[in-house]
Every structure is written in structure tokens, then in C-alpha cells.
Amino acid sequence: MSGGKVVVVSDNEFEQTVLKSEIPVMVDFWAEWCQPCKMLAPTIDELAGEFDGQILVGKLNVDDNPNTATNYGIRGIPTLLFIKDGQVVQQIVGVKSKAEIKKVIEENLG
């Protein structure tokens, strides 16, 4: 489901991979059964390719990794968290257009 540029993140790796990342991170919180998540997946893959080397794009399955989702108060999916220097700088809930997500990346993670 994920392209080569998207990193699968788990509860165990979240701090190391995301919070300690030297580049900004966009994390997609999703689940297998979530249709909107599946609709958003190709957009996430495209953005991962476009911003390769500038940001890290991760996907975290909320069913397999409930701790991280709970820690960040994820109530609805898909949710995208934009994290810079270990801090959440922006959050998007629901399916958004590629242009909308790209704008958030450029404004918050550039």
C-alpha cells in the first residue's frame, strides 16, 4: 500500500524515527478498515516522493499502535500530524486535497 518513500512507524520507533528526526515529519495516522484513509494513501505517497529528502513521511496504523495515537489525542482518522523539532506544528483531520496538504507542508515544515 505504501510507496518506497513512506516509512512505516510503530509505537516502539515513534520517538526515534519521528521526534528525533533531523528533518520535519508528516505522519499519517490510519487503519486498514478506514475507507477515507485508503483514499488519502496515494496522495501521501505522491507527497513523499515530491518532498523526498526535505521531509520524512511516515504512516502509523492506529490499530497496531494505539499508544502513540492516544498520546496525540487522535480521535478521527485519517489524521496527519506535522512535526518539526519533536513538536506538533499542525494537524489535519480527514481527507484533504493534495494542494491543501502541500500548502501545510510548505508553510509549517519548509
Kindly report the CA angle at 99 between 84 and 40, in degrees rounded to 5? 80
CATH number where 29 lies: 3.40.30.10
1 in a domain, yes or no? no
Is residue 3 over pLDDT 60? no
Instruction: Single out the catalytic residue among 37, 40, 60, 83.
Output: 37
Residue range 7-25, pLDDT digits in tens? 999 999 999 999 999 999 9
Counted domains in the chain? 1
Residue range 24-79, pLDDT digits in tens? 999 999 999 999 999 999 999 999 999 999 999 999 999 999 999 999 999 999 99
**pLDDT value of position 110:** 72
Pick from 87, 81, 80, 29: nearest CA to 59: 29
**pLDDT value of position 109:** 85
Of the pLDDT bands very low, low, confident and very high (cuts 50, 70, 90), residue 95 is very high
Q: Is the peptide bond before 24 cis (omega within 30 degrees of 0)?
A: no
Is residue 1 over pLDDT 90? no
**Identity of the residue numbered 101:** I
16 in a domain, yes or no? yes
Known catalytic residue at 6: no
60 in a domain, yes or no? yes
Instruction: Single out the catalytic residue among 26, 27, 34, 60.
Output: 34
Known catalytic residue at 55: no
The CA distance from 110 to 108, in Å, is 6
26 in a domain, yes or no? yes
Domain of residue 37 covers: 6-109
